[in-house]
Amino acid sequence: MEGERGVPNYELQVSFSTPQAIHEMGFVQFEENQVLSFLAPAQSSHQISQPLNAATNSNSTNSTAMGFGHNDQVGTLDPKLVNDENCASNANDGNNNSWWRSSASDKTKVKVRRKLREPRFCFQTRSDVDVLDDGYKWRKYGQKVVKNSLHPRSYYRCTHNNCRVKKRVERLSEDCRMVITTYEGRHNHSPCDDSNSSEHECFTSF
């Protein structure tokens, strides 16, 4: 399903929380109240780096990958979530690499899991494929029909060891070609080279 590595024709909308930049670039506000996005010209996806620099020059340039460092959350999160992250991130760091599937089925771990919230970043893309080739390898671990959406939401995790980055992918009900990708967390590794496409160059430049 994740499969089609072919020639996706992305039209990128990257979500930021810098209203100024959004305004200047003619960004379009995205559904999550504090998450904003811009629309890059179709078939010229690489131009994304330009607005990205403008929007992210204050931080994240040393980010190893599109992990959107903790500093990058720039208000895309509601205070509660931020609070949770602050509380939970320490406990999260340095865990073993199989924190989500540790056969331990004790409820306490589940509880802890629920509290963990990483910085989130939203993309809105126009694409025929659900999963953008961002250079990372993802494993699908769930799919859910969400309310007010005609399309199911898919849940992915980065397959790299010790990397807990997750992403959600869903299509807009109003426009089934629009794909909303929400990244959660930060990659602690470089993108894998299993893709020779250049798309992930622009993604990883975040």
Residue 124 CB coordination number (10 Å): 23
State how beta strands 28-29 and 36-37 pair: antiparallel
The residue from 57, 62, 90, 103 that contacts DNA (CB under 7 A) is 103
What stretches of the chain adopt beta strand conformation (E)? 11-16, 28-29, 36-37, 120-126, 138-145, 152-158, 166-171, 178-184
189 binds DNA (CB under 7 A): no
Q: Tell me the closest approach of the beta carbon of residue 163 to DNA, in angstroms.
A: 13
- Minimum CB distance to DNA, residue 204 (Å): 20
Total residues contacting DNA by CB under 7 A comes to: 32
Phi, psi of 3 (to 5 degrees): -45, -65
Taking CB under 7 A as the binding criterion, the range among 26-34, 46-54, 60-68, 109-117 that sits at the site for DNA is 109-117
The amino acid sitting at 45 is S
Q: Which of 115, 150, 161, 197 binds DNA (CB under 7 A)?
A: 115
Q: Which is nearer to DNA, 26 or 111 (CB)?
A: 111
Q: Please report, as ranges, the residues that interact with DNA according to CB under 7 A.
A: 1-3, 80, 100-101, 103, 105, 107, 110-111, 113-115, 137-148, 153-155, 159, 166, 168
